[in-house]
Amino acid sequence: MNQLARLPPPVEPPAPGRRRRGAKSGIFGVLDIGTTKIVCIIARIEGDGEPRALGFGWQRARGVKAGSIVDLEEAERAIRAAVGQAEEMADTQLRGAIVNLSCGQPESRQLHIQWPIGGRAVTEADLRAILQEGHRRSAEDGRETVHAFPLGFTVDATPGVNDPRGMICDAVAARLHLVDAAQASLRNLGACLMRCDLEIEELVSAPFAAGLATLVEDEKELGATVIDMGGGTTTLAVFAEGHLLHTAQIPVGGWNVTNDLARGLSTPLAHAERLKTLHGGVLGAPGDEKEWLPVPLVGEDEDHIARIPRTMVVGIIQPRLEETFELVKDRLEAAGISQDAGRRVVLTGGGSQLVGVRELAARVLDRQVRLGRPHVVRGLPETASGPAFAASLGLLGWASGEGRPLLDLLPGLERRPGAFRRFVNWLRDRA
Protein backbone atom coordinates (compact mmCIF):
# COMPACT_ATOMS: atom_id res chain seq x y z
CA MET A 1 0.00 0.00 0.00
CA ASN A 2 1.26 3.45 -0.83
CA GLN A 3 2.82 4.98 2.30
CA LEU A 4 1.49 8.37 1.35
CA ALA A 5 -2.06 7.04 1.58
CA ARG A 6 -1.56 6.33 5.29
CA LEU A 7 -0.60 9.91 6.09
CA PRO A 8 -3.30 12.09 7.65
CA PRO A 9 -4.69 14.84 5.44
CA PRO A 10 -2.80 18.16 5.68
CA VAL A 11 -4.12 20.64 8.16
CA GLU A 12 -5.90 23.51 6.45
CA PRO A 13 -4.42 26.94 7.18
CA PRO A 14 -6.64 29.30 9.14
CA ALA A 15 -9.15 31.14 7.03
CA PRO A 16 -8.09 34.68 6.17
CA GLY A 17 -9.84 37.41 8.09
CA ARG A 18 -10.50 35.42 11.26
CA ARG A 19 -10.54 37.30 14.57
CA ARG A 20 -7.00 38.37 15.49
CA ARG A 21 -5.40 38.00 18.89
CA GLY A 22 -5.92 41.12 20.99
CA ALA A 23 -8.99 42.29 19.07
CA LYS A 24 -11.50 44.38 21.01
CA SER A 25 -14.77 42.75 21.99
CA GLY A 26 -18.12 44.49 21.91
CA ILE A 27 -18.62 48.11 20.85
CA PHE A 28 -15.63 50.43 21.19
CA GLY A 29 -14.54 53.90 20.11
CA VAL A 30 -11.43 55.43 18.56
CA LEU A 31 -10.51 59.11 18.77
CA ASP A 32 -8.09 60.88 16.43
CA ILE A 33 -7.10 64.27 17.87
CA GLY A 34 -5.29 66.24 15.18
CA THR A 35 -4.31 69.84 14.59
CA THR A 36 -6.95 70.47 11.92
CA LYS A 37 -9.70 67.99 12.75
CA ILE A 38 -10.95 65.68 15.49
CA VAL A 39 -12.46 62.36 14.41
CA CYS A 40 -14.44 59.85 16.47
CA ILE A 41 -15.49 56.44 15.14
CA ILE A 42 -17.59 53.92 17.07
CA ALA A 43 -17.31 50.36 15.77
CA ARG A 44 -17.37 46.67 16.53
CA ILE A 45 -15.33 43.71 15.24
CA GLU A 46 -17.43 41.31 13.19
CA GLY A 47 -17.11 37.55 12.80
CA ASP A 48 -14.59 37.79 9.98
CA GLY A 49 -12.25 39.85 12.16
CA GLU A 50 -12.82 43.14 10.31
CA PRO A 51 -14.24 46.30 11.92
CA ARG A 52 -17.62 47.78 11.04
CA ALA A 53 -18.25 51.44 11.80
CA LEU A 54 -21.51 52.12 13.67
CA GLY A 55 -21.09 55.85 14.22
CA PHE A 56 -18.89 58.60 12.82
CA GLY A 57 -18.31 62.20 13.84
CA TRP A 58 -15.75 64.86 13.07
CA GLN A 59 -15.20 68.50 13.91
CA ARG A 60 -12.71 71.18 13.01
CA ALA A 61 -10.04 71.05 15.69
CA ARG A 62 -9.82 73.80 18.25
CA GLY A 63 -7.36 74.19 21.10
CA VAL A 64 -4.78 71.91 19.43
CA LYS A 65 -1.44 73.02 18.00
CA ALA A 66 1.19 70.76 16.41
CA GLY A 67 -0.66 67.75 17.79
CA SER A 68 -0.65 68.96 21.41
CA ILE A 69 -3.53 70.42 23.41
CA VAL A 70 -2.93 74.10 24.15
CA ASP A 71 -6.45 75.16 25.24
CA LEU A 72 -8.38 72.67 27.39
CA GLU A 73 -11.77 74.35 27.06
CA GLU A 74 -11.63 74.74 23.28
CA ALA A 75 -10.33 71.20 22.79
CA GLU A 76 -13.03 69.83 25.13
CA ARG A 77 -15.79 71.47 23.08
CA ALA A 78 -14.45 70.09 19.80
CA ILE A 79 -13.96 66.58 21.21
CA ARG A 80 -17.43 66.56 22.81
CA ALA A 81 -18.99 67.61 19.49
CA ALA A 82 -17.21 64.90 17.47
CA VAL A 83 -17.93 62.19 20.04
CA GLY A 84 -21.56 63.34 20.34
CA GLN A 85 -22.08 62.99 16.59
CA ALA A 86 -20.70 59.45 16.61
CA GLU A 87 -22.69 58.46 19.71
CA GLU A 88 -25.93 59.73 18.22
CA MET A 89 -25.35 57.81 14.99
CA ALA A 90 -24.39 54.60 16.82
CA ASP A 91 -27.08 55.03 19.50
CA THR A 92 -24.57 54.29 22.26
CA GLN A 93 -22.48 56.15 24.82
CA LEU A 94 -18.72 55.82 25.08
CA ARG A 95 -16.90 55.59 28.38
CA GLY A 96 -13.45 55.33 26.84
CA ALA A 97 -11.61 55.31 23.55
CA ILE A 98 -8.39 54.29 21.81
CA VAL A 99 -6.59 57.59 21.19
CA ASN A 100 -3.80 58.52 18.77
CA LEU A 101 -0.47 59.71 20.17
CA SER A 102 0.71 62.87 18.45
CA CYS A 103 1.42 65.06 21.48
CA GLY A 104 4.41 65.18 23.78
CA GLN A 105 7.18 65.14 21.12
CA PRO A 106 7.11 61.33 20.73
CA GLU A 107 10.54 59.75 20.40
CA SER A 108 11.57 56.36 19.09
CA ARG A 109 14.55 54.33 20.28
CA GLN A 110 15.95 50.82 19.96
CA LEU A 111 17.63 48.96 22.81
CA HIS A 112 19.71 45.77 22.86
CA ILE A 113 19.45 43.81 26.11
CA GLN A 114 21.43 40.71 27.12
CA TRP A 115 19.69 38.55 29.73
CA PRO A 116 21.25 35.52 31.53
CA ILE A 117 19.23 32.28 31.56
CA GLY A 118 21.79 29.80 32.91
CA GLY A 119 21.11 26.66 30.90
CA ARG A 120 17.39 26.35 31.62
CA ALA A 121 14.27 26.98 29.55
CA VAL A 122 13.26 30.57 28.85
CA THR A 123 10.06 31.53 30.65
CA GLU A 124 7.56 34.31 30.20
CA ALA A 125 8.89 35.84 33.42
CA ASP A 126 12.27 36.22 31.70
CA LEU A 127 10.69 38.11 28.83
CA ARG A 128 8.79 40.33 31.22
CA ALA A 129 12.04 41.08 33.02
CA ILE A 130 13.71 41.97 29.69
CA LEU A 131 10.92 44.43 28.86
CA GLN A 132 11.08 45.91 32.33
CA GLU A 133 14.84 46.37 31.94
CA GLY A 134 14.15 48.17 28.66
CA HIS A 135 11.74 50.52 30.44
CA ARG A 136 14.33 51.19 33.13
CA ARG A 137 17.08 52.01 30.65
CA SER A 138 14.92 54.28 28.53
CA ALA A 139 13.38 56.13 31.45
CA GLU A 140 14.09 59.84 31.47
CA ASP A 141 12.75 62.61 33.66
CA GLY A 142 9.42 63.69 32.28
CA ARG A 143 9.04 60.85 29.72
CA GLU A 144 6.51 57.98 29.65
CA THR A 145 6.76 54.80 27.56
CA VAL A 146 3.75 54.26 25.28
CA HIS A 147 4.84 51.32 23.07
CA ALA A 148 7.31 48.50 23.72
CA PHE A 149 7.77 46.19 20.74
CA PRO A 150 10.14 43.18 20.80
CA LEU A 151 11.80 43.12 17.36
CA GLY A 152 13.51 39.76 17.74
CA PHE A 153 15.59 37.59 20.03
CA THR A 154 18.94 35.84 19.82
CA VAL A 155 19.12 32.58 21.76
CA ASP A 156 22.82 31.99 22.53
CA ALA A 157 24.27 32.23 18.99
CA THR A 158 20.98 31.68 17.12
CA PRO A 159 19.45 34.96 15.87
CA GLY A 160 16.03 35.57 14.35
CA VAL A 161 13.94 33.93 17.09
CA ASN A 162 10.48 35.48 17.43
CA ASP A 163 9.39 33.65 20.58
CA PRO A 164 12.13 32.07 22.74
CA ARG A 165 9.83 30.75 25.46
CA GLY A 166 10.61 27.10 26.23
CA MET A 167 14.01 27.17 24.51
CA ILE A 168 17.01 26.05 26.59
CA CYS A 169 20.00 28.39 26.51
CA ASP A 170 22.61 30.23 28.54
CA ALA A 171 21.52 33.77 27.56
CA VAL A 172 18.92 35.64 25.51
CA ALA A 173 19.62 38.87 23.67
CA ALA A 174 16.60 41.03 22.84
CA ARG A 175 16.16 43.93 20.45
CA LEU A 176 13.42 46.27 21.66
CA HIS A 177 11.74 49.28 20.05
CA LEU A 178 10.25 51.77 22.50
CA VAL A 179 8.16 54.88 21.81
CA ASP A 180 7.79 57.44 24.60
CA ALA A 181 6.38 60.94 25.05
CA ALA A 182 6.49 63.85 27.48
CA GLN A 183 4.48 63.20 30.62
CA ALA A 184 3.22 66.79 30.83
CA SER A 185 1.56 66.60 27.41
CA LEU A 186 0.07 63.19 28.20
CA ARG A 187 -1.36 64.59 31.44
CA ASN A 188 -3.00 67.45 29.56
CA LEU A 189 -4.45 64.95 27.09
CA GLY A 190 -5.77 62.80 29.93
CA ALA A 191 -7.20 65.82 31.74
CA CYS A 192 -8.97 67.00 28.59
CA LEU A 193 -10.59 63.60 27.99
CA MET A 194 -11.61 63.32 31.63
CA ARG A 195 -13.45 66.62 31.18
CA CYS A 196 -15.25 64.91 28.29
CA ASP A 197 -16.15 61.95 30.56
CA LEU A 198 -13.86 59.66 28.56
CA GLU A 199 -11.02 57.39 29.60
CA ILE A 200 -7.96 56.68 27.47
CA GLU A 201 -8.08 52.91 26.99
CA GLU A 202 -4.94 52.77 24.83
CA LEU A 203 -2.57 55.19 23.15
CA VAL A 204 -1.37 54.38 19.63
CA SER A 205 1.40 56.22 17.79
CA ALA A 206 -0.21 58.30 15.03
CA PRO A 207 2.24 57.42 12.20
CA PHE A 208 2.09 53.76 13.24
CA ALA A 209 -1.70 53.89 12.89
CA ALA A 210 -1.38 55.53 9.46
CA GLY A 211 0.89 52.67 8.41
CA LEU A 212 -1.58 50.06 9.59
CA ALA A 213 -4.24 51.72 7.44
CA THR A 214 -2.27 52.14 4.21
CA LEU A 215 0.49 49.52 3.90
CA VAL A 216 0.08 46.10 2.33
CA GLU A 217 1.68 43.09 4.02
CA ASP A 218 4.56 42.83 1.53
CA GLU A 219 5.53 46.44 2.23
CA LYS A 220 5.64 45.76 5.96
CA GLU A 221 7.89 42.75 5.37
CA LEU A 222 10.23 44.12 2.68
CA GLY A 223 10.60 47.59 4.21
CA ALA A 224 8.66 50.80 3.70
CA THR A 225 8.38 54.28 5.17
CA VAL A 226 4.96 55.85 5.72
CA ILE A 227 4.85 59.66 5.67
CA ASP A 228 1.60 61.08 7.07
CA MET A 229 1.30 64.72 5.95
CA GLY A 230 -1.07 66.22 8.51
CA GLY A 231 -2.24 69.72 9.20
CA GLY A 232 0.15 70.62 12.01
CA THR A 233 2.80 67.90 11.80
CA THR A 234 4.40 65.51 9.35
CA THR A 235 5.01 62.12 10.92
CA LEU A 236 6.81 59.05 9.63
CA ALA A 237 6.92 55.39 10.53
CA VAL A 238 9.41 52.81 9.23
CA PHE A 239 8.34 49.18 8.87
CA ALA A 240 10.47 46.12 8.01
CA GLU A 241 10.18 42.38 8.61
CA GLY A 242 6.64 42.93 9.83
CA HIS A 243 7.73 45.24 12.68
CA LEU A 244 7.58 48.94 13.42
CA LEU A 245 11.25 49.99 13.53
CA HIS A 246 11.13 53.76 13.97
CA THR A 247 8.80 56.74 14.27
CA ALA A 248 9.48 60.47 14.11
CA GLN A 249 7.50 63.71 14.11
CA ILE A 250 8.30 66.99 12.35
CA PRO A 251 6.42 70.14 13.45
CA VAL A 252 5.62 71.19 9.88
CA GLY A 253 2.36 70.48 8.08
CA GLY A 254 -0.39 71.74 5.85
CA TRP A 255 -1.07 74.71 8.12
CA ASN A 256 2.43 76.02 7.40
CA VAL A 257 1.68 75.92 3.67
CA THR A 258 -1.54 77.84 4.25
CA ASN A 259 0.29 80.37 6.42
CA ASP A 260 2.99 80.83 3.75
CA LEU A 261 0.32 81.57 1.15
CA ALA A 262 -1.49 84.02 3.44
CA ARG A 263 1.74 85.90 4.17
CA GLY A 264 3.11 85.81 0.65
CA LEU A 265 -0.12 86.96 -0.99
CA SER A 266 -1.41 89.21 1.86
CA THR A 267 -4.69 87.32 1.82
CA PRO A 268 -6.86 86.03 4.71
CA LEU A 269 -6.06 82.56 6.03
CA ALA A 270 -9.46 81.23 4.95
CA HIS A 271 -8.82 82.22 1.35
CA ALA A 272 -5.26 80.92 1.48
CA GLU A 273 -6.63 77.52 2.51
CA ARG A 274 -9.10 77.68 -0.38
CA LEU A 275 -6.31 78.55 -2.82
CA LYS A 276 -4.23 75.64 -1.57
CA THR A 277 -7.12 73.19 -1.87
CA LEU A 278 -8.42 74.24 -5.27
CA HIS A 279 -5.30 75.46 -7.07
CA GLY A 280 -2.34 74.30 -5.00
CA GLY A 281 0.45 72.08 -6.26
CA VAL A 282 4.21 71.76 -6.49
CA LEU A 283 4.60 71.16 -10.22
CA GLY A 284 4.03 73.89 -12.75
CA ALA A 285 2.01 73.40 -15.93
CA PRO A 286 2.52 75.17 -19.30
CA GLY A 287 -0.62 77.25 -18.89
CA ASP A 288 0.01 78.39 -15.31
CA GLU A 289 1.29 81.84 -16.31
CA LYS A 290 -1.94 82.47 -18.19
CA GLU A 291 -4.21 81.21 -15.38
CA TRP A 292 -4.98 84.20 -13.19
CA LEU A 293 -6.56 83.66 -9.78
CA PRO A 294 -8.60 86.19 -7.77
CA VAL A 295 -7.10 86.97 -4.36
CA PRO A 296 -8.83 89.20 -1.80
CA LEU A 297 -6.37 91.27 0.24
CA VAL A 298 -6.24 91.53 4.02
CA GLY A 299 -8.05 94.60 5.31
CA GLU A 300 -9.38 95.65 1.90
CA ASP A 301 -13.01 95.93 0.82
CA GLU A 302 -14.59 92.91 -0.85
CA ASP A 303 -14.57 94.75 -4.17
CA HIS A 304 -10.79 95.23 -4.02
CA ILE A 305 -9.44 91.93 -5.37
CA ALA A 306 -5.98 91.33 -6.77
CA ARG A 307 -5.21 88.77 -9.48
CA ILE A 308 -2.12 86.59 -9.50
CA PRO A 309 -0.85 83.84 -11.84
CA ARG A 310 -1.01 80.27 -10.58
CA THR A 311 2.78 80.09 -10.92
CA MET A 312 2.99 82.36 -7.85
CA VAL A 313 0.96 79.86 -5.79
CA VAL A 314 3.18 76.98 -6.92
CA GLY A 315 6.29 79.07 -6.19
CA ILE A 316 5.19 79.53 -2.57
CA ILE A 317 4.09 75.94 -1.90
CA GLN A 318 7.01 74.10 -3.50
CA PRO A 319 9.84 75.40 -1.24
CA ARG A 320 7.89 74.56 1.92
CA LEU A 321 7.24 70.96 0.82
CA GLU A 322 10.81 70.56 -0.38
CA GLU A 323 11.95 71.62 3.08
CA THR A 324 9.54 69.14 4.66
CA PHE A 325 10.89 66.19 2.67
CA GLU A 326 14.47 67.29 3.34
CA LEU A 327 13.67 67.19 7.07
CA VAL A 328 12.19 63.70 6.63
CA LYS A 329 15.35 62.60 4.82
CA ASP A 330 17.52 64.01 7.62
CA ARG A 331 15.48 62.18 10.28
CA LEU A 332 15.84 58.86 8.45
CA GLU A 333 19.59 59.30 8.03
CA ALA A 334 20.03 60.36 11.66
CA ALA A 335 18.18 57.23 12.82
CA GLY A 336 20.63 55.05 10.86
CA ILE A 337 17.90 52.85 9.38
CA SER A 338 18.02 53.87 5.74
CA GLN A 339 18.94 50.34 4.65
CA ASP A 340 16.21 48.69 6.77
CA ALA A 341 13.63 51.17 5.52
CA GLY A 342 13.95 49.87 1.98
CA ARG A 343 13.27 51.85 -1.17
CA ARG A 344 9.52 52.22 -0.71
CA VAL A 345 7.75 55.35 0.55
CA VAL A 346 3.99 55.65 1.02
CA LEU A 347 2.53 59.16 1.27
CA THR A 348 -0.77 59.68 3.05
CA GLY A 349 -2.59 62.40 4.98
CA GLY A 350 -4.37 65.46 3.65
CA GLY A 351 -1.18 67.13 2.39
CA SER A 352 -0.38 64.19 0.12
CA GLN A 353 -3.29 65.13 -2.15
CA LEU A 354 -1.60 68.24 -3.55
CA VAL A 355 -0.74 67.90 -7.23
CA GLY A 356 2.88 66.83 -7.79
CA VAL A 357 3.69 65.86 -4.19
CA ARG A 358 4.47 62.28 -5.18
CA GLU A 359 6.99 63.36 -7.82
CA LEU A 360 8.60 65.90 -5.48
CA ALA A 361 8.98 63.32 -2.69
CA ALA A 362 10.56 60.82 -5.11
CA ARG A 363 13.10 63.41 -6.22
CA VAL A 364 14.07 64.65 -2.75
CA LEU A 365 14.07 61.25 -1.01
CA ASP A 366 15.44 59.31 -4.01
CA ARG A 367 12.99 56.47 -3.44
CA GLN A 368 9.96 54.83 -5.01
CA VAL A 369 6.86 56.71 -3.85
CA ARG A 370 3.19 55.86 -4.03
CA LEU A 371 0.10 57.57 -2.64
CA GLY A 372 -1.56 55.54 0.09
CA ARG A 373 -5.32 55.37 0.57
CA PRO A 374 -6.58 53.63 3.72
CA HIS A 375 -8.07 50.17 3.47
CA VAL A 376 -11.85 50.23 3.13
CA VAL A 377 -13.84 50.02 6.39
CA ARG A 378 -17.44 48.89 6.25
CA GLY A 379 -20.05 51.34 7.42
CA LEU A 380 -17.99 54.50 6.85
CA PRO A 381 -19.09 57.19 4.38
CA GLU A 382 -16.92 57.73 1.32
CA THR A 383 -15.89 61.15 2.60
CA ALA A 384 -14.23 59.51 5.63
CA SER A 385 -12.20 57.00 3.61
CA GLY A 386 -9.55 59.26 2.06
CA PRO A 387 -5.88 59.78 2.95
CA ALA A 388 -6.76 62.56 5.43
CA PHE A 389 -8.37 59.87 7.64
CA ALA A 390 -5.50 57.36 7.53
CA ALA A 391 -4.59 57.67 11.23
CA SER A 392 -8.25 57.41 12.27
CA LEU A 393 -8.79 54.21 10.29
CA GLY A 394 -5.48 52.81 11.52
CA LEU A 395 -6.80 53.05 15.08
CA LEU A 396 -9.64 50.75 13.97
CA GLY A 397 -7.05 48.33 12.61
CA TRP A 398 -5.22 48.33 15.96
CA ALA A 399 -8.53 47.68 17.73
CA SER A 400 -9.09 44.67 15.47
CA GLY A 401 -5.72 43.22 16.55
CA GLU A 402 -3.61 44.36 13.61
CA GLY A 403 -0.04 45.39 14.33
CA ARG A 404 0.01 44.11 17.89
CA PRO A 405 3.33 42.47 18.83
CA LEU A 406 3.64 38.69 18.85
CA LEU A 407 4.54 38.88 22.53
CA ASP A 408 2.08 41.36 23.97
CA LEU A 409 3.59 41.42 27.44
CA LEU A 410 3.37 45.11 28.28
CA PRO A 411 -0.11 44.97 29.97
CA GLY A 412 1.11 42.19 32.27
CA LEU A 413 4.27 43.87 33.49
CA GLU A 414 4.42 43.70 37.24
CA ARG A 415 5.45 47.26 37.87
CA ARG A 416 3.91 50.25 39.48
CA PRO A 417 1.70 52.28 37.16
CA GLY A 418 3.39 54.90 35.04
CA ALA A 419 3.01 58.59 35.84
CA PHE A 420 0.36 59.03 33.16
CA ARG A 421 -1.79 56.15 34.45
CA ARG A 422 -1.35 57.33 38.06
CA PHE A 423 -2.49 60.78 36.99
CA VAL A 424 -5.59 59.40 35.24
CA ASN A 425 -6.43 57.33 38.32
CA TRP A 426 -5.99 60.40 40.52
CA LEU A 427 -8.44 62.36 38.37
CA ARG A 428 -10.97 59.51 38.41
CA ASP A 429 -10.85 59.20 42.18
CA ARG A 430 -11.71 62.88 42.54
CA ALA A 431 -14.40 63.03 39.86
Given the DSSP bridges, would you call strands 305-309 and 344-348 parallel, antiparallel or unpaired? Answer: unpaired
Q: Which residue has the higher pLDDT, 290 or 303?
A: 290
Q: What is the mean pLDDT of residues 67-82?
A: 93
Q: Of residues 192 and 137, which shows the higher confidence score?
A: 192
- Domain spans of the chain? 107-181
pLDDT exceeds cutoff 60 at 181 = yes
| Residues with Cβ within 8 Å of residue 365, at least 6 apart in sequence | 325, 328, 329, 345
pLDDT surpasses 80 at 386: yes
Asked whether the predicted pLDDT for residue 4 surpasses 50, the reply is: no
pLDDT at 45: 94
In angstroms, the first-to-last Cα distance of the chain is 76
Pick the range with the lowest mean pLDDT from 55-64, 247-256, 334-343.
334-343
Burial of 105 (0-12, 13-18, 19+ CB in 10 A): middle
| Higher-scoring residue by pLDDT: 136, 166 | 166
Spatial separation of the C-alpha atoms in residues 130 and 150, rounded to whole Å: 10
Q: Are 90 and 96 in contact (CB under 8 A)?
A: no
Q: Given a cut of 50, is residue 421 above it in pLDDT?
A: yes
Q: Please, which residues have CB within 8 angstroms of residue 65's CB and are 6 or more apart in sequence? A: 35, 232
pLDDT of residue 335: 87
Asked if 186 and 254 touch (Cβ cutoff 8 Å), the reply is: no
Decide: 12 and 42 in contact? Cβ < 8 Å. Answer: no
Which of the residue ranges 36-50, 72-86, 139-153, 362-376 would you say has the lowest mean pLDDT?
139-153
Position 56 scores a pLDDT of: 96
pLDDT for 416 = 41
Torsion sign across C-alpha atoms 298, 299, 301, 306? negative
Q: What angle do CA 421, 213, 144 make, to 5 degrees?
A: 20
Domain 107-181 has CATH 3.40.50.10490: no
Per residue in 114-131, pLDDT (tens digit) is 999 999 999 989 998 888
Q: Give the E-state strand segments of 256-310 in sequence order.
A: 292-296, 305-309
Residue in 366, 359, 322 with CA at minimum distance from that of residue 341: 366
Residues 6+ apart with CB under 8 A from 229: 253, 254, 324, 347, 348, 349, 350, 351, 352, 357
> In terms of pLDDT, which residue wins out, 408 or 14?
408
Of 181-185, 319-323, 363-367, 402-406, the least confident:
402-406
Across all residues in the chain, what is the average pLDDT? 86
